[in-house]
Amino acid sequence: MANNGYDSSSSDETGANIMFLEMFENYQRKKTMKKKEKTSMVVHGATSSRRRTVPRDRVSAHENLFQNYFSNHPLYPSSDFRNRFRMRRELFNRIMEQIVPFDDYFKQKLDATRKLGFSPQVKMAAAMRMLAYGTAADLNDDYLKIA
């Protein structure tokens, strides 16, 4: 296939950087809106109804993702990673290394029940798949166990 003077790797990185900036701006806008909603909400007493909980095996979600794409001998080749996430694995890792210290959402933390939350890789994979395919968060639930 002819190259025609087009460097696809730099184009991928530029596109990913633009996509990342758009994702970040969208996140900041939503975060600001949620803060405004919280300050305007009035709570009257406690609720007696309980929500249905969905057991999510967060550890196996991380292990599955790691074995499929990030281990020394991944189940899927790098071309499959590129097709599914629309970027090279190296770029994915570089973005993740930059975003984890920048945004608390991507850090792995304990949840309210003192269980370890989703790993940064799982959160980043879910975000990138939503951006790459323009899908809703709950479509990642089957594979990544995150909705």
Q: How far apart are CA 112 and CA 114, in angstroms?
A: 5
Q: Is the pLDDT of residue 120 over 80?
A: yes
Confidence band of 19 (pLDDT split at 50, 70, 90): confident
Confidence of residue 9 (pLDDT cuts 50, 70, 90): low
Average pLDDT, integer, range 85-103: 92
Secondary element (H or E) of residue 123 = helix 120-133
Does 92 score more than 90 pLDDT? yes
Radius of gyration from C-alpha coordinates of the chain: 18
The proportion of the chain whose per-residue pLDDT surpasses 90, expressed as a percent, equals 28
Evaluate if residue 45 carries a pLDDT over 60: no
Burial class (CB in 10 A: 0-12, 13-18, 19+), 48: exposed
Higher pLDDT, 96 or 27: 96
Per the prediction, the chain carries an average pLDDT of 79
> Which tokens go with 27?
């996140």
